[in-house]
Structure 1
Amino acid sequence: MENKSFRPDFSNPHQNAVVGEYWNGDLDYAYREGFKQATMTLLAAATSESYFDPNTDETVYVYVDALVYPICFNARHFIELFLKDSIRTVSALGSNAKQIDVDPIHTLSTLWGHFAAAIARDSRLMERGMPLEEVFKDIADVDNTSMTFRYSRDLADNVHLSGHQHINLGVLGDRLRDMFKQAEEFSVCLTVLQQEYAQGTFTAKLHRANIEDIAKRLPPYEKWTEELNPVKEAICNQLKLSSNDFGKALNLIKRHREFSALIGLELPLEGLPEDVFTRLARVHAGEAAHDVITKDEWLRLDAVMEINRLDSYSEEYDRYLKRISAPDYEGSFSPESIARNAYARNQRLYGGLVKLGQRTLLASLAEAIPHLAEPMKTPPKHTDEEISALTREIFSHFKCSRPGSEAMKGDEPGEG
């Protein structure tokens, strides 16, 4: 028998909410966002002490003394979901991932303990996560177990909130808005770090950015015998590393295409001879057919340019090349398109070769096609506000994809 209350109505499709397995985005995010939006909507109604009902064309008056309970409940439940989702995601980062079963836990103080322990592995998560502690603990002090704002009395029939005479929704609203913003920035950071950790460039003590910073501070490889020890001592003291920890970082740097270039080493790309750019120039000038460059070489050029993308890591080169070279790859192979992309103004070849640490091929590119080997001019630096707005926009698109209303339905660290 059809449920007459929970059903679609395609005469009014914009009110058909996509739910459950039919939602094609991040369902956990949708739940969190829903409780956040409910909180903000009720706060807005409380501020105006009314709301407009489009079904009756009437203004309905509301009472802050009543709205305070669903406002606080929704905000608290957002926090519970945020902590659980974050703990799961952070715990899965890197090798030897250990998942914590947080589903049965509803106590905010316990969840915060798991959250703080999980983010301690990465200073960037600590920087964005720990500022949430104060407001989270404020709410936990009042409603640690999700009972206070759901029921007027506890199991012993005592009235909840006996120690509070007033809750100012203006004060609370300001705190919650700041909290929602901080939580979103943490989630954006975590989404970015998921991709970073997926590259496998980390150790038990160091994340990828740590290792890159170490590589930038090291002397050239040929001078390590004379100059490495004082640099090693300074780095180990700063990052609290043992000699063994530092040695693991050095080994990873030497095996990493991008980071090895920072110490003067080069790990050449196989299958791209130095004369490939001379042949590319002849193809572009119409002096030679596209088959003067082999299919394997075209694919490798395509992979180099793919790595130039802003959100790509140098470690992805081999995986991308393997995917587009596979016999069952369903994408098209178009030397003409690859050649056009190589000559595009965004300097894809140059940027990819730089990211991959290919100084020999860069020299060959400069000789064969000089204008493609020139660095792009640095665009104006965005302000913090612009960067924050951009990340929120990217995150909303990444997390909130929604089908049309017609829809009915850690490994071990690797090498770069």
Structure 2
Amino acid sequence: MEIKDDELLKKDPFKFDRSEGHIACVGNNGGTTNNTILEGFKSAVLIIIKDIRDDSGIQDELIYPLVYSMRHCVELALKISINLIKDICDKKSLKFVIEEKTLFTHDIKKLSEAVKQLYIIDKRIPGLFDIALDYAKDFYFDNHSDIFRYECTHTGKKMLNEFHITHICIDILEKKFLRLYELLDDAIYDLISIKEEYSVNTWTNNLSRNDIEQISKELLPRNRWNETDFDDNKNEIKEKYGLSNKELTKAIDIVQSNPLFANNIKVFIPLGKIKEDELHQYGNLILEITEPDEYETKVCNIGEVNDDFIEELAKNEKKRYSLAEDISNKALFSLAAFANMVETRDKYCENYQEHYNYFKNDHYFCRDWFISKVGNYSFALKVLKGMEICGQSEYINVLLPYIKKIAKDYNFPSNYE
């Protein structure tokens, strides 16, 4: 439907109008971040490339928004990366050596150099960026991000002519951009993980949490530390990681106090409030309650909900509560905490207590509901996975035989994926 100019001019595209069909949510209403903007420009790249392939547009015209969008993706990804490394610096109480103005430059060469300056913050960072920064060199020449936006500079010089660019191979450009984007996307994902890792405060000046976990796997079992072989073991680790005696001692102290790392040296640090007989009872509860159709979708029509159905449901719930009778509330909170770590994708045992407190401090706690929640096979798999994340080997050794029996009897998965 055609709209007259005087009516159209009254409309503001940057204000909400419920009569419109396509409305984008941005700012405080859309959670606008550099990451969402980056995804938008990447989508624009793919749309333009598709239009060129489908002959839906003229490639000699579309090349300008295409290269600009690609280049802007690279600029944004590098700025996101630098800010994530800045956050890691803050976590480690290190000085951020990049000047503030660099964070606002359009120059991809300067941004690449800034990333390289930050390689010292964590030894994993160079491996995230070395290849990506080589690909990014393709965009160095457009250091003001204007060559594909305008024909001339403010002095009248034709910019593409200045760089002797007369042809652009779109297929090569696409392949190199997609590889570069993949590398930078992976780097951002890994930097977010590294930032989360430093948030749990398990690190030293020279060792990340990841380093200390690896050292825990290389140390001899704790019961062999009185042997002369342990001196050789420590010397090998010091040489491999470039550590002094003091630095290694600090790392070993962390290993001995961390439930996951301690498990690697055959030391069990229990988390939670679960007695062995409660674990056996929980395993038996899962064993008795689990049915062969646990993983099938059950559909119940309204007409099928009769007195017999309700009676059967009540009978099963009564059985469940009876089987869980001697499992304390503290044990239930602990089981739920392990599973909640998996459900929230928390991979750090240092955060276990937060998950425990989440359930313990729930003012609306209902024991019957809780037993229903933890008392099923799929939930028990999450409990096992959470125990694994936290190095709870002795808990696992008690519970796992019950899970394996159910998995064998009903051909169920025996671990959580």
The answer, yes or no, to whether TM exceeds 0.5 is yes
- TM-superposed deviation, 1:376: 7.7
- TM-superposed deviation, 1:149: 2.2
1:394 is aligned to none
Q: Percent identity?
A: 23
Confirm or deny: 8 A CA contact 2:135 2:176 kept in the other structure.
Answer: yes
- TM-superposed deviation, 1:360: 4.2
Mapped to 1, the partners of 2:180 and 2:209 lie a distance apart of 28
2:403 is aligned to 372
Confirm or deny: 8 A CA contact 1:301 1:338 kept in the other structure.
Answer: no
Q: Do residues 6 (structure 1) and 14 (structure 2) align? A: yes
RMSD, aligned α-carbons: 3.4
Consecutive unaligned residues in structure 1, runs of 5 or more? 52-60, 381-389, 391-416
Mapped to 1, the partners of 2:392 and 2:45 lie a distance apart of 52
Residue deviations 1:339-374 (CA, integer Å, cap 9, x gap): 414x447534444334433344445547xxx41377
Higher mean displacement: 284-293 or 303-312: 284-293
2:58 is aligned to 62
Mapped to 2, the partners of 1:344 and 1:135 lie a distance apart of 45
2:122 is aligned to 122
SS at match of 2:276: coil
Mapped to 2, the partners of 1:198 and 1:212 lie a distance apart of 16
* Compared CA separation, residues 62 and 276, structure 1 to 2 (3 A): same
Match of 1:252 among 254, 257, 260: 254
1:224 is aligned to 225
- TM-superposed deviation, 1:35: 1.6
Mapped to 2, the partners of 1:7 and 1:160 lie a distance apart of 37
Mapped to 2, the partners of 1:179 and 1:237 lie a distance apart of 35
Mapped to 2, the partners of 1:131 and 1:63 lie a distance apart of 29
SS at match of 1:297: helix
Mapped to 2, the partners of 1:204 and 1:348 lie a distance apart of 34
Match of 1:16 among 20, 23, 35: 23
Match of 2:72 among 74, 77, 84: 77
Mapped to 2, the partners of 1:233 and 1:167 lie a distance apart of 56
SS at match of 1:157: coil
Consecutive unaligned residues in structure 2, runs of 5 or more? 1-8, 289-318
Mapped to 2, the partners of 1:352 and 1:18 lie a distance apart of 37
Which structure has greater helix proportion?
2
Larger radius of gyration: 2
SS at match of 2:63: helix
Residue deviations 1:2-31 (CA, integer Å, cap 9, x gap): 653434454453x2111111114x622111
- TM-superposed deviation, 1:46: 3.3
Q: How does 1:9-408 map to 2 (within 5 A)?
A: 9-13=17-21, 15-24=22-31, 27-48=33-54, 50-51=55-56, 61-64=57-60, 66-93=61-88, 94-96=91-93, 101=100, 102-140=102-140, 142-161=141-160, 162=162, 163-225=164-226, 226-269=228-271, 271-280=273-282, 286=319, 288=322, 290=324, 292-307=326-341, 311-326=346-361, 334-341=369-376, 343-344=377-378, 347-362=381-396, 364-365=398-399, 370-372=401-403
Mapped to 2, the partners of 1:38 and 1:308 lie a distance apart of 35
- TM-superposed deviation, 1:166: 2.1
Structure 1 letter corresponding to 2:265 = I
SS at match of 1:92: helix
Aligned length: 362
Scaled by the length of structure 2, the TM-score of the pair is 0.75
Scaled by the length of structure 1, the TM-score of the pair is 0.75
Confirm or deny: 8 A CA contact 1:282 1:288 kept in the other structure.
Answer: no
Confirm or deny: 8 A CA contact 2:339 2:379 kept in the other structure.
Answer: no
Mapped to 1, the partners of 2:109 and 2:335 lie a distance apart of 53
Confirm or deny: 8 A CA contact 2:336 2:359 kept in the other structure.
Answer: no
- TM-superposed deviation, 1:308: 5.2
- TM-superposed deviation, 1:379: 8.1
* Compared CA separation, residues 37 and 122, structure 1 to 2 (3 A): same
- TM-superposed deviation, 1:212: 1.5
- TM-superposed deviation, 1:195: 3.2
SS at match of 2:375: helix
SS at match of 1:275: helix
Confirm or deny: 8 A CA contact 2:81 2:187 kept in the other structure.
Answer: no
